[in-house]
Amino acid sequence: MRSIYRVRGGCTLCAMCYYVCPTKAISLKPNVTAVIDAEKCIGCGQCADNCQAEAIVRVERKTDIH
C-alpha cells in the first residue's frame, strides 16, 4: 500500500496545488476541479497542505501486482 492524494468535493480551482506539486501530477479542468494523476503522485502531501478548500484527501492505494 502507498499513500496518494485525490481531489474530492469543494475544489474552487484556485490552482495552488498545481503550483506546489513537485512532480506536476496535477492538472486543472476548467469548470470542474483539479485532477491528480495517480501515477505521478508521490504522496508528499504539499497539495493538501496548500488547499484552502480542504478539498484534497489522502487515500491508500494498493500497489499494482503484475
Burial class (CB in 10 A: 0-12, 13-18, 19+), 1: exposed
Residues 13-32 touching ligand SF4, rule: CB under 6 A, are 13-17, 20-21, 23, 25-26
Residue among 30 and 65 whose Cβ is closer to ligand SF4: 30
Nearest CA among 60, 55, 59 for reference residue 35: 55
Alpha-carbon torsion (9, 12, 15, 17), positive or negative: negative
Residue 66 Cβ vs another protein, minimum distance, rounded to whole Å: 31
Give residues in contact with ligand SF4 (CB under 6 A): 5, 7, 11-17, 20-21, 23, 25-26, 33-34, 36, 41-47, 50-51, 53, 55-56
